[in-house]
Every structure is written in structure tokens, then in C-alpha cells.
Amino acid sequence: MHPIIHIFDYAIPTFGIMFLIGTGCGFLLAIPAAKKYQIATMDAMFFGLFGIIGGIIGAKLLYIIVDLPNLIASPETALIRLATGGAVFYGGLIGGIMGGYFYTHIYHLDAIHFFDIAVPCLALAQAFGRIGCFFNGCCYGIPYEGPGAVHYPVGAYPPSGIGLFPAQLSESAFLLVLTLLLMAVLWRSNTPGFTSGFYLVASGLFRFINEFFRADPRGAIGFLSTSQFISLLIIGLGILFMLKIPQWVYEKHLKN
């Protein structure tokens, strides 16, 4: 567990470093991905920038909503947690979609095309982010003593003295494979919106399952974790993208 990396006299959060690496790799991947729809590199970069800003805001807001009772109970540490971590991915995804859509709306661009080229880049960035979670000790797994079990040191945020399922690394591995699949789908599909839908369904389904292997404190809605509940909505949205959005795009082109 290495939540902090010391470079010279500076202590830098490992998650922040992995976030920057993932973001940089995502932007690099956007360059070849944008060629699918002949999107200008500058437009792809600004779309990504708007998505990142919206994603950060959304991730923080959902964290505050989900963890509000704990933040109220320990106000003296609330700001520290918000500054050093305190983010929920699905809040970031929703905020990122809204931020990216805002950019396409301003400049009258085809949002579906931009979302299609963005999802492989997002999956790649997520993969690095989950590695950051592993080093940070958050999002840890259930007790597990099988192959690949993780043992955190005494005093760490996760439980120590027992093996834990590597939930963060399993998701990171899945996302790396998903990145390759999404690039293949993007280039082979002639249906706008299908790649976005494929990402939403695949990532939502994996996240729903992976939640059963996580043991870190999370919010709940009924018998589901908050993330599992949102995963079902994400899967539904993905199916909508794969089935309805292409039809809507086709009808729109016929009218034009």
C-alpha cells in the first residue's frame, strides 16, 4: 500500500498520479479514435476537458450525497476527505456525460459521435484510476485467501492481518480488456451510439457483479449498494443507446 509517493521534498497522492497518467493516456487514445468520425483533434480534446471538469464535480457531489451522514458526524475530517479523495465514479460518469454534452451543444456538434470515441478513452483512464485505488487502499475487497489475495499492513485503511480480494485490480484488468474491445467495436460498427451502449452495458454489468466482492463502507438503496442500483440504470441506458439511439439518428438524417 503506497497512498503517498515522496518526490524530493513533496508528498504526492498516488491516486492523483495514476489519475493524471490515465487521463493522459485517454487523451492520446482519443487521437486515433477521433478519426472514426473525422472529428478534429482539438474538438476531441476540448470535449474531453469539459467531460473531466463535469466528472470531477459529479464525483464529488455524489460522494457528499452518499457519505453525508459520516461527513456530518465528523466535520473536522470532512474537508480533508474531500480534498484527498472523496469521489464516487458513477457521479463522475454522470457529470462527465453532462459536461461533454454541454460542449457539443454549445458548438452544435454530434454528441453521439463524441460519446462513441470517448468511451474507450474513459475505460483506459478508469483502469489506471483503479490501480490508484489499490495503492490508496480504498475500494478494498472481501476477506479472501485464494490466489492473488492482498494483505495490507497494520494501520492501513483496509483491514490488516487477513487476505482481501483484489477488487480494484480485477476491475482494472477488466477495463484494460474492455478498452481493446471498445476500440474494435468502434471501428467495426457503422451504427452511431452502439459503442457507447456497449460500454455502458459491459461496465455496468461488471460493476454490479464486482460490488459483491467489495467490503469497503458504501451507501445502500434497499438490499443493493448505491453503485449496484446505479449500475442497473446504467445498463438500461446502455440498452437504450444500442437499440433506440441508432434509430433516432437514422430518422434524424432522413428528415435532413
Domain range list for the chain: 4-255
Task: Say if CB 86 and CB 63 are below 8 A apart.
Answer: yes
Q: What is the pLDDT of residue 256?
A: 54
C-alpha distance from residue 131 to each of 44, 122, 168 (Å): 25, 14, 7
Per-residue pLDDT tens over the stretch 120-134? 999 999 999 999 999
Per-residue pLDDT tens over the stretch 86-108? 678 889 999 999 999 999 999 99
C-alpha distance from residue 42 to each of 25, 187, 191, 230 (Å): 16, 21, 24, 32
As a dihedral over the C-alpha atoms of residue 123, residue 129, residue 131, residue 135, rounded to 10 degrees, the angle is -170
For the chain (length 256 residues), average pLDDT per consecutive 10? 76 85 96 94 96 92 77 65 70 94 94 95 96 90 94 86 95 98 94 92 97 88 91 93 66 53
Per-residue pLDDT tens over the stretch 182-205? 999 999 988 888 999 999 999 999
